[in-house]
Amino acid sequence: MKRILLTVAVAAMLVLAGCNGGGQGTASPSGTETATNGAQAETELSSPDVPDSLDVGISLAGPGSGGMDTVSSDMYPPGVDSSGVTNTTALVASHFEAAVANAETRMAFRSSGGTLGLVHKNGSSGERLRYVNATTGKTETYWHSGSTVVRRNESKSPPVTYSHGETNLYTGYQFLGIFRVIPFATLNSMSLSVDGTATVDGQQVLRLAVNGFNRSASTWNVRSGLQNASGYVLATPEGVIRELHWEATNVNTSQTESMTVTVSGVGSTSVTRPDWAGEYPDATVSTTSGGQVLALTHEGGDAIPADTRIQVGSGFSAYGNVTLAESLESGETLYVVATGRFGDYNVTARVGSQPSVPENAASFSRRVPSVSAFLDGVQLQYGPEVESGGGAGAGFGAGA
């Protein structure tokens, strides 16, 4: 069933921020937000310990003056005409078509569970993503390009995780892409009307007023506990949603919950790889000998030194650890064999030559595990080659 629940979305993001550990200081309010009536709302999110380029604070142009008589026909984006919003799905689709790459998106989610801020920059060479749980002060920062994802979290040990290939970190980053879709998908549950124009960064845009929920109009709904929604949407003639803000009353808590999004730099946003996501060794994981030997092939970069701890698998699919007897250089392969049974494996590894396979060797073919190497200040995660969607625009910036 195509049903997105705002509560689940916000709660999931708050859990992600909480479970992934603390960040670089506590977020303190310092930004401002323009309320739907044009007044200044309560102070917003900020993160003073990071460069302004990744501050999660949101600055709004505001709803504008409104009024149908100020709208010319060439201002209507897809899904909107003089009679009003005729196809919200078309409007949302046009946004992702126009702003799928080279754009900067900022989001703020407020619920009874807390407040989460997020900034995402998508350029031709990669993506940067940072989110902050303003309630707990916890934060994580990501760099993503192709099949590489690097995560920084100062509360973890080690603080940096470098992932190449299809690993748990890579999959988790892809999952974050749903939160790029959720704010716009909620518009399908809104009653929207054309309400004049506004100006964003010198560009005249169409203003749509949020006049409550229209739950029966779509299978994409926010939860029933929210009522009396109000807000606005600012969209360009091409369909790019430059601003989205709505708030509603939670009838169970009597608190106001809200969602705010800004999109800027469409077509001109660029990102650079941060120093902490530097050039780590690249390697991929595959199997040989009918799936009973795991092969970690070093594909470039510095050598993984001798005496490095290697972890095969993770969580419920963990096989165990082994220590490198010699360094793994570019072009070389580390062959891994696990013997025994679930919960009681013995892992051995050899660089350069493939070992013979014992009769009680475990099979890696059903699900090829990741291989991790633990160095000073960084965990290296390697997985099988990513089969599709490996470009710089994949993942969070890939759209719906």
pLDDT of residue 10: 44
- Dihedral through CA 358, CA 360, CA 365, CA 367, nearest 10? -130
pLDDT of residue 175: 85
Task: List alpha helices for 56-213, DSSP H.
Answer: 88-98, 168-175, 178-185
pLDDT of residue 177: 75
pLDDT of residue 395: 44
Q: What pTM does this model have?
A: 0.79
d(CA 36, CA 194): 15
Task: List alpha helices for 154-304, DSSP H.
Answer: 168-175, 178-185
- 4, β-bridge pairs: none
d(CA 277, CA 280): 8
pLDDT of residue 215: 60
Q: What is the token pair recorded at 306?
A: 């001798």
pLDDT of residue 148: 94
Per the omega criterion (within 30 degrees of 0), is the bond before 158 cis?
Answer: yes
Tens-of-pLDDT digits for all 400 residues of the chain? 333 344 444 444 434 434 333 332 222 223 333 333 333 333 233 333 334 456 666 677 766 655 555 688 899 999 998 877 889 889 999 998 888 778 999 999 888 778 888 899 988 889 999 988 888 888 899 999 999 999 999 888 889 999 999 999 999 998 887 777 888 888 888 889 999 999 999 999 999 999 888 765 444 445 567 888 899 999 999 999 999 999 999 888 888 999 999 999 898 888 889 999 988 999 999 999 999 999 999 999 999 999 999 999 988 788 999 999 999 999 999 999 999 888 789 999 999 988 889 989 999 988 899 999 998 889 999 999 887 654 444 444 433 2
d(CA 388, CA 147): 9
The ranges assigned to domains in the chain are 6-264, 279-382
Residue 56: how many other CB atoms lie within 10 Å: 23
pLDDT of residue 223: 58
Q: Phi/psi of residue 308, each to 5°?
A: -75, 135
